[in-house]
Chains A and B, each alone.
Chain A
């Protein structure tokens, strides 16, 4: 357990698990806002939550430590929700 000790590992994994899911929800939300309506759209939206979650969970091992994982993913998640609220605002 090098590269920052056990605490860093838990910090990374918790960042991926806890921030990856809301990040996936926000990106699926953007899809719901921006893509044209059609039958089955809500099902595809549900399917779109997982890939960003998995990507986030894998990405936490590519940064140097747990703090950076929280900062990067926290920033991305905040940005995704900001975009979602902006879209909603302008879509009325």
Chain B
């Protein structure tokens, strides 16, 4: 029976891995990059002509904007400057669902000055790739499919653990660096998987929920809440915690609001004040900000809702350190998925774990291919790898390297597109999927082994284009590009990435040369496999 289970788990792990591996590779690679979403957006952010009004004048700015532009009263935001993604003091949306913002400032004479501002869409786009696993479909469908993929991924993790447990103590730190490269790859796959198992279990379980939470809420409403969930939802809506009252009333200044909050939560670092129904007795202000000491729900953000008229605190259910037990538990799930706690060290840790995850799936695919290739060789089919093995080898090289090229290319292109095409957001999709499909086609035409080396060179080239763009912006100002000191980390990380890709490309090319017994284009060679 024990051996039965082991054999079953081996089959399950192999199949689930090969079905989900490529989606998960893209989700993990893009997910690792989204850890630094704010820095990416800053990197791509064009310099704005508008002045940023000093914070001391914010109250005056609000008063003038609300008076001259009554439509701003419904919902506007005062940025405190800690949040560098939006270079303006006060903004509101041009219309509901529109990304474009109106930015307000006061000129030297104290007159209201308005300009339009489109926040960069780069981080959001990489996040879209992360959520949909690179599937070229809409976000809703892609996310739902990834919900299913995440379920299978969770089962693949558990079955992988079951397979490895019996030899855990013997093999965990064994790296058999010898003639059998396959054994070495398996050891690396096992070690990576075991060391990061808690991370992967957390990611798998939370990903299922993030992908399917609408569906789960619907089912829960029917089965458990018997149709009352919407009412519960509304009763707990934090943004409804200041009762509406359209009677006009004077609001406290941002400085007063922040002083009240400081008394209550001294560790909280506010970065934006979002006002709703300004100028009425029911005006509310949502103070967004973070506190690294706690597990936070959104990207480094929690929030507190206050009355903008009395300064009374109306809802602390999302304020780090002031949540109830249930809210704290749910925030922990969010934070553990995205690394929203503990500051930069945790972020870099998540970045490494995310890339390590992508590598886990890549190495898993290579192991599957190698196992199959050996079986075909010994199976008396004339020693030729079967079509599924060749297809998987082509797909693994094409999808993995294609998505890496696509991510780097969308980042590097964002500044150039802003200068030459105006709206980078429209182009991002096209660039990413073009890179993905061209890489797949290339892998098919050239054979996965040679394509791997060549596509790695392309990865290195498009990744170094990121710091090169910043460098050009600095030395050739006439190009109309720009460079921010605040996002120098993006350039440094891309430079390091490019060096690593180039080193891998050299290794791959060397291996192709050493193994190539004149392979016909597209044929499967020994070099297609991990050894």
Interface string of B126-161 (1 = CB under 8 A from A): 000000000000000000000000010011001100
Q: Among B8-16, B87-95, B164-172, B454-462, which stretch is in contact with chain A?
A: B8-16
The residue of chain B having its C-beta at the shortest distance from the C-beta of A29 within the complex is B224
* A7 CB–B CB distance under 8 Å: no
B229-237, B344-352, B385-393, B397-405: which one contacts chain A? B229-237
Decide: A39 near B4, CB < 8 A? Known: A29-B224, A54-B208.
no
User: Known contacts being A50-B208, A54-B155, A58-B155, is A45 close to B324, with CB within 8 Å?
Assistant: no
Complex: A61 Cα to B212 Cα, angstroms: 24
A32 and B224 form a contact (CB under 8 A): yes
Q: Is the CB of A42 within 8 A of B229?
A: yes
Report the separation of the CA atoms of residues A69 and B229 in the bound assembly, to the nearest whole angstrom. Answer: 32
CB proximity of A44 to chain B, nearest CB, Å: 4
Known interface pairs A25-B219, A45-B224, A54-B205. Does A39 touch B155 (Cβ–Cβ under 8 Å)?
no
Contact, CB under 8 Å: A64 / B224: no
Residues of chain A with a CB closer than 8 A to B154's CB: 54, 57-58
Residue interface mask A35-49, B partner, CB < 8 A = 1? 000111111111101
Chain A nearest CB, measured from B288 CB (Å)? 19
Chain A interface residue count, CB cutoff 8 Å, equals: 33
**Contact A46–B205 (Cβ < 8 Å):** no
Q: Find the residue from B212, B216, B217, B219 having the highest chain A CB count within 10 A.
A: B216
CA distance in complex: A66, B326 (Å): 37
A47 to B330, Cβ gap below 8 A?
yes
Q: How far is the CA of A86 from the CA of B212 in the complex (A)?
A: 29
Q: How far is the CB of B124 from chain A (nearest CB, A)?
A: 24
A70 interface residue per 8 A CB criterion: no
Task: Kindly state whether residue A51 has any CB partner on chain B within 8 Å.
Answer: yes
Q: Are A61 and B204 neighbours in the complex by a CB distance under 8 Å?
A: no
Complex CA distance for A44 and B334, rounded to whole angstroms: 12
- Measured CB to CB, the residues of B under 8 A from A are 1, 4-5, 7-9, 11-12, 151, 154-155, 158-159, 204-205, 208-209, 212-213, 216-217, 219-220, 223-225, 229, 232-233, 236, 317, 323-327, 329-330, 333
A-B residue pairs in contact (CB < 8 Å), sample of 17? A25-B219, A32-B225, A38-B326, A40-B236, A42-B229, A43-B327, A45-B220, A46-B209, A46-B213, A49-B216, A50-B208, A54-B151, A54-B155, A54-B204, A54-B205, A61-B12, A84-B224
